[in-house]
Amino acid sequence: MKITLKVWRQKNKQDAGHFETYQLDNVSPDMSFLEMFDVLNEKLISEGKEPVAFDHDCREGICGMCSMYINGRPHGPLRGVTTCQLHMRSFKDGDTIVVEPWRSTAFPVIKDLTVDRSAFDRIIQAGGYISVNTGSARDANNILVPKENADKAFLAAACIGCGACVAACKNASAMLFVAAKVSQFALLPQGQIERKQRVLNMVKKMDEEGFGNCTNTGACEAECPKGISLENIARMNREYICAALTSEK
């Protein structure tokens, strides 16, 4: 396959950045999207040019590191897959593909297609945990969880923290990511004790990091590679309302 790539190039945070166009003539449909970038980079290096910097690690859709905005959509044209799982058979010979980094004030560009997502870590630090020290746990089967709740909690916990929800959202809102974590714990008995403070703190942090406000467009759910559901956002809204109304602080 022949593919034309228009790729965002930006030297560093301060650089204004621009698009560059590259031509690849020998793309195999069995290649993954990132393998195509490997080929591009090999070519650039051999031509004495700078390769494109992009984030990736596991290349099997679970670490959440890869993050490309492909032809106007995070992780490209398919639903339910990450960039690394996207294969070139999803494109046609002769296609032009435009690749940009995630765009969000809270995710500044580090270089080319690489962005800084540490804001997500800071949100988790604000309350995305259960405060249990190692060694204090009781026997696992002493905590029973209805299967339905356990399954729902698992589905919420499946979030890989890739940030596609933020990238897709017109408001660059991180609600889906935060809601996934809040929901996971709200659904489990272990999460009840810190339930109220957790949602208040995490929402506060989310705002401080500069993410936008949710307007329920549903773009996040549609683009989330792990199919995290909007139900979680509703649940977080509920959690927030309950917690805020009953809070004594």
Partner 1 sequence: MATSPKLDAKIPEGPLQEKWTRYRSTVPLVNPANKRNLEIIVVGTGLAGASAAASLAELGYKVKAFCFQDSARRAHSIAAQGGINAAKNYQNDGDSVYRLFYDTIKGGDYRAREANVYRLAEVSANIIDQCVAQGVPFAREYGGYLSNRSFGGTQVQRTFYAAGQTGQQLLLGAYSALMRQVALGQVQMFARHEMLNIVLIDGKARGIIARNLITGELERHFGHAVILASGGYGNVFYLSTNAMGSNATAIWKAHKKGAFFGNPCFTQIHPTCIPVSGDHQSKLTLMSESLRNDGRIWVPKKLEDAKAIREGRLNPNDIKEEDRDYYLERRYPAFGNLVPRDVASRAAKERCDAGYGVNATGEAVFLDFAYNLKYKYGMMEANRLGIKNPTEQQLKELGRPIVEEKYGNLFDMYKQITGVDPYENPMMIYPAVHYTMGGLWVDYNLMTTVPGLYALGEANFSDHGANRLGASALMQGLADGYFIIPYTIGAYLSNEIRTKPISTNHEAFVQAENEVKDQINRLMSIKGKHTVDHFHKRLGKIMWNKCGMSRNAKGLQEAIQEIRSLREEFWKDVKVPGTDKEFNPELEKAGRVADFLELAELMCIDALHRNESCGGHFREEYQTEDGEALRDDANFSYVAAWEFKELGNWELHKEELKFENIKVAQRSYK
Partner 2 sequence: MAKGMFSYSIGKKLIMGLTGMFLILFLIVHCGINSLIFLNDGGETFNRAAEFMSHNWLMRTLEVGLFLGFILHIIQSLILTLENKKARKIGYAVSNANANSKWYSRSMGLLGTLILIFLILHLRHFWVVSRFTDHISSGEETLYDEMKEVFANPIVVIIYVLAQISLAYHLMHGFQSAFQTLGLNHKKYTPIIKKIGTIYAIIIPLLFALMPIVMYLGIVK
Q: Which residues here bind partner 2, judged by CB under 8 A?
A: 8, 19, 69, 71-73, 77, 98, 100, 103-106, 168, 170-173, 175, 200, 203-204, 206-207, 210-219, 222-223, 230-231, 233-241, 243-247, 249
Applying CB under 6 A, the span of 78-86, 114-122, 167-175, 206-214 interacting with ligand FES comes to: 78-86
User: Residue 212 gets which letter from DSSP?
Assistant: -
Q: How far is the CB of 135 from ligand SF4 (least distance, A)?
A: 31
Q: How far is the CB of 102 from ligand HEM (least distance, A)?
A: 23
By the rule CB under 6 A, 161 interacts with ligand SF4? yes
Give the span between the Cα atoms of 66 and 56, in whole angstroms.
4
Give the span between the Cα atoms of 167 and 67, in whole angstroms.
9
Q: How far is the CB of 60 from ligand FES (least distance, A)?
A: 6
Using DSSP, state whether 45 is helix, strand or coil. Answer: helix
The conformational region for residue 205 under phi > 0 = left, psi -120 to 50 = alpha, else beta, is alpha
List CB contacts of 173: < 8 A, sequence separation 6 or more: 165, 166, 211, 212, 213, 214, 215, 220
Give the span between the Cα atoms of 209 and 156, in whole angstroms.
22
Q: Which of residues 171-210 bind ligand SF4 (CB under 6 A)?
A: 176-177, 180
Position among 15, 42, 50, 57 found at the interface with ligand FES (CB under 6 A): 57
Site residues for ligand FES per CB under 6 A: 56-59, 61-66, 82-84
